[in-house]
Structure 1
Amino acid sequence: MGAEGQPVAAVPPTDAAAPRHEAGLRVVPVKHWGRWALSAIVAFVILQFLWSLATNPQWQWNVFAEYFFAPSVINGLWLTLGLTVVSGVAGFVLGAVLAVFRLSKSPLLNAAAWWYIWFFRSVPLVVQILVWYNLGYLYPTLGLGTPFTTDFWLLEFPTTTLISAFAAAAIGLSLHQAAYSAEIIRAGILSVDQGQLEAAGALGLPRRIRFFRITLPQAARAIVPNAFNEIIGLVKGTSVVFIVALPELFYTVQVIYNRNQRVIPLLLVAVVWYALITTILSIAQYHVERRFARGAVRELPPTPIQRATSWARIQWQRLGDAPAHGSLTPAGAAAASGTASTRTGGAA
């Protein structure tokens, strides 16, 4: 503005500055030689491994294809998934109860949950499954009757009939998983800001509403990644039930290669099936995390497809063949910057 309040026209750039604006600044990309060298080494290792997969006859891909969808393998796969579902659901339900006990102000409930978690994290899973499978040596019969006696006048079963191989595996996996799930859930609950709970309590909201509407949705963001990690570990952990001759996926593969001595291709069958299950669970984990992130971030993180598209667009722009829509070239950006600074100086 002028001295008398009149607007002052912007001063056009001088002739001396014009060539600098037109030429602009030369942008030289940074050359990451170390990154390129490591990328080349990793690419070489991957290509070498893929080449060996295609050319080494010892992999016996024809045997792999023969047994990949074999009925016995598929039955073992379904048994593995069934054990995972039963043990995962039971383990996380019991783990949630234990987590609440650990956070309880009752000394008895707190101590009982702590000792449970300590015990089942200390004993190896294989030992737990074997104890449940051989429980009949300790208690030949189980039932309901007079407390603190063996007079089962209401209901009585032989232990060996009641606890089969599947039941022993499911009980062992569930109790083992509950100990780890309890700590995951407890950590998620403790991650919620206590100030929010105090504010909700001051408003007179019931404890149940505070837990399910305030605490649990926020705790889920911390619980979900570790919970899926435990579920994926449980899928692979079912392979230890071969100790009780339960024909899940790994045990079935073992039986087949002990009969025909085709060890490597049969192990590959198990590896690929485990990898497929893990991939599906990882995709589910990504979408569940993305859903729970809606209340914590202003903008959801891009999906893998969006990341790949953005990366391809950036790499194409670096070639200089297709500048982004609405973006300026280096010379144009320098000219625009110079013009803006001139206008600012004229208006000061």
Structure 2
Amino acid sequence: MSAELIAEPSEVRIIRRKRWGAWLLGVAVLLILIIVAIAGARARIIDLDVFLQYLTSGEILIGARNAILVGTVSMVLALVVGLTAALMRLSGNPILSSVSATYVYFFRGTPMLIQILFWYNAFPTMFPRLYLAVPFTGAVLIDLPMPVVITPFIAAVVGLGLAEGAYMSEIIRGGILAVDKGQQAAARALGMTQPQMLGRVVIPQAARIIIPATGNQYIMLLKSTSLASVIGFLELLRITQGIYSANFQVVELLAVAAFWYLAMTAVVTAIQTTLEKLFPVR
């Protein structure tokens, strides 16, 4: 081959393809955002002084704390219930598998709001008292009226936790099924018991799939804590509604609530990103 036909590396020009469609779409989106921002500024829909006044008020911070508390406790319950239901579904026992499938179908198919209302209103009617005694001794351990036991906090946690547990069951089951069957067979060949195989082989690999979806579900659960406002639990939205029903600063108070929901979401996203780095998807 002639030397003239061989181009030197310094002479090679890289021509990047121009994506005019993406640029036009970006400009259109930017223009829409600018128009919305200008319209909001002209309408003066938010009084910044009121917004800043309530942003760090004690009542609002209590509501944010309660939202985090309910969301976190509900997520822990959902993880425990979801893992149990997933293992039941994969156990091969037709009774356990059927019970798990029915649970997932029922709790995924009914709105969280209905479930919260059920635990707060219907469950105490079905079981008026919580009674627990030692058999054959007559010693009473617990004897309380159920309305005392099922507080708004408990009803919110149970309603949200069981509903979210159905989703987590399918997420965990999908993660476990994604682990190669050959590795499980190898673990059994090494003499591992079922709990050892799950703890050392299956769960660590399934976590790479489970963690991103779990982070998304936790974010959704934090926002769903606002549903507990219908049973009088003092979470962020309930307190916000109480304040703006008194001072009529509706938009400003809703903006405050939205700010704290976004702040909670940002923290959870940072934690999720850190966990994903510990269990990278390969």
Alignment of 1:120-131 (within 5 A): 120-131=107-118
Aligned equivalent of 1:80, options 67, 89, 111: 67
Unaligned regions of 5+ residues in structure 2, if any? none
How far residue 125 of structure 1 moved from its aligned partner, in angstroms, is 1.4
In the alignment, which residue of structure 2 is the partner of 1:282?
269
Residues 1:246 and 2:218 are matched in the alignment: no
Q: Which amino acid aligns with 1:177?
A: E
CA root-mean-square deviation: 2.5
Give distance in 2, aligned partners of 1:169 and 1:203: 45
Aligned equivalent of 2:132, options 144, 148, 153: 144
Give distance in 1, aligned partners of 2:157 and 2:29: 42
Give distance in 2, aligned partners of 1:113 and 1:286: 31
SS at match of 1:247: coil
In the alignment, which residue of structure 2 is the partner of 1:333?
none
In the alignment, which residue of structure 2 is the partner of 1:40?
27
How far residue 54 of structure 1 moved from its aligned partner, in angstroms, is 4.7
Aligned equivalent of 2:149, options 162, 169, 173: 162
How far residue 18 of structure 1 moved from its aligned partner, in angstroms, is 9.9
Unaligned regions of 5+ residues in structure 1, if any? 1-10, 298-348
Moved more, 137-146 or 167-176: 137-146
In the alignment, which residue of structure 1 is the partner of 2:163?
176
TM-score, normalisation: structure 2? 0.90
Give distance in 1, aligned partners of 2:184 and 2:94: 23
Residues 1:105 and 2:87 are matched in the alignment: no
Show CA shifts across 1:142-193 (max 9, x none).
212488xxx9955311111111111111111111111111111111101101
Show CA shifts across 1:18-62 (max 9, x none).
997599355544333222222222222233334445554222111
- Cα contact 1:228–1:285 (8 A) shared by 2: yes
How far residue 74 of structure 1 moved from its aligned partner, in angstroms, is 0.6
Distance change in 2, residues 1:207/1:48 (3 Å): same
Residues 1:133 and 2:157 are matched in the alignment: no
Distance change in 2, residues 1:229/1:23 (3 Å): closer
Give distance in 1, aligned partners of 2:118 and 2:9: 82
Distance change in 2, residues 1:83/1:18 (3 Å): closer
Give distance in 2, aligned partners of 1:113 and 1:284: 30
Residues 1:203 and 2:227 are matched in the alignment: no
Distance change in 2, residues 1:67/1:25 (3 Å): same
How far residue 111 of structure 1 moved from its aligned partner, in angstroms, is 1.6
Q: Which amino acid aligns with 2:116?
A: I
How far residue 226 of structure 1 moved from its aligned partner, in angstroms, is 1.1
Give distance in 1, aligned partners of 2:245 and 2:26: 41
Distance change in 2, residues 1:24/1:259 (3 Å): same
Show CA shifts across 1:288-313 (max 9, x none).
112101xx54xxxxxxxxxxxxxxxx
How far residue 123 of structure 1 moved from its aligned partner, in angstroms, is 2.4
SS at match of 1:48: helix
Q: Which amino acid aligns with 2:17?
A: V
How far residue 204 of structure 1 moved from its aligned partner, in angstroms, is 2.4
Give distance in 1, aligned partners of 2:206 and 2:65: 32
Give distance in 1, aligned partners of 2:93 and 2:169: 17
Give distance in 1, aligned partners of 2:112 and 2:129: 24
Residues 1:64 and 2:51 are matched in the alignment: yes
Give distance in 2, aligned partners of 1:165 and 1:180: 23
Distance change in 2, residues 1:199/1:56 (3 Å): same
Alignment of 1:206-285 (within 5 A): 206-285=193-272
In the alignment, which residue of structure 1 is the partner of 2:180?
193
SS at match of 1:59: coil
Aligned equivalent of 2:279, options 292, 296, 301: 292
Distance change in 2, residues 1:152/1:52 (3 Å): farther
Moved more, 60-69 or 195-204: 195-204
Q: Which has the larger radius of gyration?
A: 1
How far residue 277 of structure 1 moved from its aligned partner, in angstroms, is 0.8
Give distance in 2, aligned partners of 1:108 and 1:139: 26
TM-score, normalisation: structure 1? 0.74
**Identity of matched residues, %:** 34
